[in-house]
Structure 1
Amino acid sequence: MSSDSSSASLSVESPTPSKAASARKYIDAVLEQSFRHLFGPTATPEQPRKHEVVSIAKLTGTLSTYLKKNELKEVKAAFHFSDEAHLGQYRQSGEPYITHPVAVAEICADWKLDAQSIMAALLHDVMEDQGVTKTELAERFGPKVAELVDGLSKLDKMEFRNREEAQAENFRKMLLAMARDVRVILVKLADRLHNMRTLGAVPTEKRRRVARETLDIYAPIAHRLGLNNTFRELQDLSFANFNPRRYATLEKAVKAARGNRREVVGKILEAVQRSLADAKIVADVNGREKTIFSIYQKMRDKQLSFSQVLDVYGFRVVVEQPLECYMCVGALHALYKPVPGKFKDYIAIPKVNGYQSLHTTLVGPFGTPIEFQIRTRKMHEIAESGVAAHWLYKNGSADLNDVQKRAHQWLSSLLDIQSEAGDSTEFLEQVKIDLFPDAVYVFTPKSRIMPLPRGATALDFAYGVHSDLGNQCVAVKINNELLPLRTELKSGDIVEVITAPYSKPNPAWLGFVRTGKARAAIRHYLKTMRFNESVQLGERLVDQALKGYRLSLADVTPEVWEKLSLWTGNRNRQELFADIGLGRDVAAVMAKRLEVLMSGREGDPEALAGADSPSHHPGGAGGAAVVITGTEGMSVQLSPCCRPIPGDAIMGYIGIGLGMAIHTADCRVAQRIHRRDPERWIDVAWAPQPGRLFDVGVKVLVKSSKGVFARVAGDITSADANIVHVAMDENIDQEITELRFIIQVSDRVHLANVLRRTRGNPDVVRISRERPSEEPPGRHDGGIRIDRERRDF
């Protein structure tokens, strides 16, 4: 159609030149939009794209070596379905989109994954990009393939507050699908590997983001599963895209060094082959070059220049039997001198991902250190392919090799973390902790080897064995020596866990545990315990408040509870009590509302208005006093500003979301809060027999003399009080020195006995309890913490 006829079709009038130009411009825009819709974003009206035929000859050639004919037929059907679904869709590089699923399937075929995995690789984007449903996939290719594809699909239809939250949820879904079926992550790693190989067509900002994500998440997962070839390639590709200038500089330097050292490497290779032949050891010896990213890591971590990284090249020796590995080490050590401390036996104690080899570093003929890796052919296959080696699904065998057992244990731990993590972001945070490749290897008392991340503590070991063992842990023996739970473990340690039924996790444990499983288990326990304690406290507060109306919780009928839940919005009475215990609701308001509902006055506007304010409650906000034993847990806290003990006049403040804080009646901090927020204070009283010892501050002025601290401490302990913290003046050259203690007593009478006993010491000038107006002693004052051993546990 000519331009004139085009313009005439838009107007019955004879077009003016300006109108004709506008019409042509409009039609050009419409045509261009149509071409883009039909032929992809890079198509133009002048050069429309044709559907390119993508061959799967290479894929079928690889698959035919290990798949059955009927399985090969199913794979071809999956390819045709995917090809049709992605028709007219193009990658940013301009290639037909179907080239990506085919490339992913080819990587999976190189790992010799089963037919279902290959089909999932070909179909992995049809749900996300083309709107194909899981049900449709299940009907055409079976439920297993549909599950795999669903595990690989993102959650684009869900709404998230930000991209980080969406990404965390995507990872959570993928890792949980992987925990159920490890093939999910293998296909995902193949997908990420091909995306990284073709990342050059992506905008710079996205390229850097994807590279960083790959380096933080996918490369460590590949390493954790023993896919070392994939791990190294992902690292190098991420480095090349995230920091292209440094990568190019190092690549150029490596190429130059490769030429300079070729002669040296040749001479070493020849000498090694001759030495092994003389020892009658049949072996394949190959040179091995460090990856560019590993060179960069070493330069960065050890602050070295490129010329100082001497072990850029190494050698790999592959033999038939494990015994020959050790014979090789003897032959090599006879040829070149070993570097002390540089021999590692990963055959006897495999790495956490199942990797096995002997590593030794020798001083070469020109004084250059050379690293040798010695392994069997089976170890080499596992070292390169990890969990994909001798693939579990290809013959339906239920027997797991050692690598797959380790992978299965890690995947099981993901399910434990998921069940105890609060949200997707927390889950991803815990998983990241477990993805660090460095590990220490410790032993159970029964000589079972247990790998843990470097820096892991004895408490991490307890949680690594079982969550219940960690929750009840009170002490550990490391190499038969009783040590604190925070002690960092070293390879070779023998760890024995001591438990007690009364023990429970301490919030302070979160400050030193290293593994995601331990952190998730502790947080889960504390959240559950806090909720249960808050429910108990809220129930007591409401019951006490009802006494002001001569009622009790036993008088409240299920119908009244249902009406109250509709008013508060809580699903059940446990949630209602928990909100009161945490200070989100006021017990006096709930008690008044219950009284109105039970009296049948819910239709009275004046009664309902009165129920919304605690000031209408008889006897103030709380009615009868709430009895405190000191053993309530996290829902009731004794304030550190005044350190109340039994015998003190006390009052309770219920902060929003914080539970109840107990203050002494003369505490100046409490008085300031009371003036600002009087409705949240309730009457509290000590139980006749509190259930534990209480911390209290004591200030002692003493004459500076040799041994005075020991004598004062002896007086305090002789009065049956325990010292948990000590601080003293920095300037000890004066005649009078001030000592500040935090001691544990049962009540005011016990404290009076301690003060009386200590005043009898001739070195003591004055001793008194630290008053609420004074700054309480703590870590910030340079004090020395003297903890009993059990307080660390």
Structure 2
Amino acid sequence: MVRERDCDPLISPEKLSDFLLQSKKASSALKIAERCHAGKFRYSGESYIEHPKEVARIIYEEWGIHSEDLICSAFLHDVVEDAKITLDQITNLFGTNVSFIVDGVSQFEAQDITHDKPLDLDKEKEYKKQIDKETLRKIFSWHYVNETVGILKLADRLHNSRTLNSVPAEKRKPKAQETLNAYVPLAEALGMWMVKRELEDLSYEHIDSKEYRDMETSIKGDSRLNEQTMAYISSTIARLLNESLVDAKVSVRINSSYATIQKIRDAVLSGKPNFRISDINDLVNYRITVKSKLECYKVLGILNDFFGKKEKNMDFSRFDEFIADPPTNNYQALQMTINSVGGAVEIAVATEDMEDFNNWGVVSLIRKGEKKLDDYKLKLVFSEDGKVRYLPRNATVIDWLYTVNPQEAASIDSVVIDDKVKLLSYVIPNASLVTVVIPHEERIAPDPILLNYCLPQTKKIIERQMDELADSKLIDLGKKNLRKILQDRGILYLEDLVESGKLKGTTTSTLKNIYRLMGLDQSENEVISWLNDKGITKDKMNVSTIEVEGKDQPHILSALTFLIQSNILLIKHIKNGGSFKLRLLIERLNENEINDLYNKLKSDPRFVNILTC
């Protein structure tokens, strides 16, 4: 048996080839892999041994992990699958740690749809049987995904994704979709964001090549990527920091195509149909790394003085304090936005250690020699759509729901796990299949008691939702209180004046603040003064409002508009089950006209709860 040896990263050579000259154990693993894979070829035509060699190189040179056992495992990760050597033999030759990692990676192979080398027909059929979701669940039901196993499998998948063009065309899209469904979430769970971004782009290129190419073209054509613009901003930041004697590095990062596509898609789904690439402030991101946390705040002050006070092009509404209050993924940086030529760009400031963790997660901790990595031992949880998510061992149902969709999670009361209904505080067993029980109603926030039964990152989101719920209730109360005042002015809601164009220059944010003041029930005079200043009176606005309810039926809107002998400025038609509510803002009617309309509506059985003002 070759003795296990911990390699000191301070003295390890930079190149894997040089490391192999020092490590008899690793060079021995490579020789065995060469013998096991002799005569095997990849789809590209190259010898199969080039794959494990490249996986080992990625781990050692690109990711900077100089673990002798991990490099041995990289060389050997496919030898058991090829039935050339047993796990017991690997244990005898290289120790229990190497055999454990190889075994873990081999089990992952059960979910791979295609392989990176040709198989005969019988083996192809066998692999199709193995990829069944139930098979993978059984494999992982008795142990968690070890972080080292996850790292090796990601290196394996990264190389296969980089060489996906050599795989037969019919296998590329399934393989790419598999990467998005299973391996991108794994990279995210391990905090390996650099790997996550590369896997996303390499995969999506094969899933929707047109959308991917179109986005690449849009990004390349964005004026914020103009070389002159980037050179000016980078050198300006460097000059400011040099003049203030701050030792810093300035780099530029361009957001990936897939991440940009997802940002636009998420914005549209959240109610921003006109959201475009020009609205994304971190398409171009200027990264500043310094030595200490104190220097981060010093840099913030320097940039604020120049871009905020002198140039006046800093957008203070888009500032993020992620050092004192990091988000759920423990990302740390100070982020600010400036409006440059062509649009908004982001500037982020972090220490070197923060930035390394921001990009590499568990890999960063391993490089630093961290031994306590229990938070990165993960369980797998499957959803009905076949996607797998990786969660900490103590994660509950509510944690899983918030990784799937934070907005929908707030409305869900229970799920089905392996055919049994479970509450949200239930700790999900490893390799479970979870099905959501469709909720009866939508909610902004879940039951507050769940704050006691979730992970810290989930707790942050729920607390934010509870703040939103409290604010929503305050705004609703304000609308109710203000409605009595607005009725005398010919309207029921301020939004109707904004949407109809009668109240220009007033934002949604301003209206919410007015409602909040009324909700507090202490500022009625202040709000009335604001209404008068804006000219929101019946005489000046020259409007009237009609609101009716009833049982929903065909042509109900036409029936109502037929009775109105006035120019309609705005129509609000709300359907709820089998009922409706209609609100119309119209040009002002005199008192006799209002009364006449009210009587007509009252005599029509289709309309109830009639209100005119």
TM-score normalised by the shorter chain: which range applies? 0.5 to 0.7
- The structure 2 residue matched to 1:355, chosen from 331, 347, 350, is 331
1:326 aligned to 2:297? yes
After superposition, where does 1:2-13 map in structure 2 within 5 Å? none
After superposition, where does 1:328-727 map in structure 2 within 5 Å? 328-336=299-307, 337-364=313-340, 366=341, 368-391=343-366, 398=371, 400=372, 404=373, 406-408=375-377, 411=378, 414=379, 431=389, 454-455=406-407, 456-457=409-410, 470=425, 488-489=444-445
Counterpart of 1:454, as a letter, is P
1:107 aligned to 2:82? no
Secondary structure at 1:334 match in 2: helix
Give distance in 2, aligned partners of 1:322 and 1:494.
34
Give distance in 1, aligned partners of 2:152 and 2:331.
21
- Say whether the 8 Å CA contact 1:228–1:385 is kept in structure 2: yes
Cross-structure match for 1:34 = none
TM-score (norm 1): 0.44
Give distance in 2, aligned partners of 1:228 and 1:498.
29
Shift of residue 252, structure 1, vs aligned partner: 3.8
Cross-structure match for 1:313 = 284
- Say whether the 8 Å CA contact 1:354–1:406 is kept in structure 2: no
Give distance in 2, aligned partners of 1:81 and 1:64.
16
TM-score (norm 2): 0.56
Structure of greater relative contact order (alpha carbons < 8 Å, 6+ residues apart): 2
Give distance in 1, aligned partners of 2:337 and 2:172.
38
CA root-mean-square deviation: 4.5
1:88 aligned to 2:43? no
Shift of residue 283, structure 1, vs aligned partner: 1.3
- Say whether the 8 Å CA contact 2:224–2:230 is kept in structure 1: no
Cross-structure match for 1:280 = 245
- Say whether the 8 Å CA contact 1:459–1:470 is kept in structure 2: no
Q: 1:453 to 1:362 in 2, by over 3 A?
A: same
Give distance in 2, aligned partners of 1:62 and 1:173.
39
- Say whether the 8 Å CA contact 2:194–2:359 is kept in structure 1: yes
Cross-structure match for 1:116 = 69
- The structure 1 residue matched to 2:181, chosen from 209, 216, 223, is 216
Secondary structure at 2:425 match in 1: helix
Runs of 5+ unmatched residues, structure 2: 1-11, 112-121, 269-273, 308-312, 393-397, 415-421, 428-439, 460-548, 553-575, 581-613
- Say whether the 8 Å CA contact 1:227–1:387 is kept in structure 2: yes
- Say whether the 8 Å CA contact 1:93–1:201 is kept in structure 2: yes
After superposition, where does 1:157-236 map in structure 2 within 5 Å? 163=128, 166-169=131-134, 171-172=136-137, 179=144, 181-236=146-201
- The structure 1 residue matched to 2:255, chosen from 269, 275, 290, is 290
Matched residues, number: 403
What percent of counterpart residues are identical? 29
Give distance in 1, aligned partners of 2:579 and 2:293.
57
Give distance in 2, aligned partners of 1:430 and 1:160.
23
Secondary structure at 2:251 match in 1: strand
Shift of residue 426, structure 1, vs aligned partner: 6.2
Shift of residue 780, structure 1, vs aligned partner: 7.1
Cross-structure match for 2:78 = 125
Q: 1:165 to 1:432 in 2, by over 3 A?
A: farther
Secondary structure at 1:355 match in 2: coil
Shift of residue 105, structure 1, vs aligned partner: 0.7
Q: 1:267 to 1:237 in 2, by over 3 A?
A: same
Q: 1:283 to 1:109 in 2, by over 3 A?
A: same
- Say whether the 8 Å CA contact 1:89–1:97 is kept in structure 2: yes
- Say whether the 8 Å CA contact 2:335–2:348 is kept in structure 1: yes
Cross-structure match for 1:138 = 91
Q: 1:377 to 1:116 in 2, by over 3 A?
A: same
- Say whether the 8 Å CA contact 1:172–1:427 is kept in structure 2: no
Task: Name the larger-Rg structure.
Answer: 1
Cross-structure match for 1:772 = none
Give distance in 2, aligned partners of 1:109 and 1:88.
26
- Say whether the 8 Å CA contact 1:78–1:122 is kept in structure 2: yes
Q: 1:429 to 1:248 in 2, by over 3 A?
A: closer
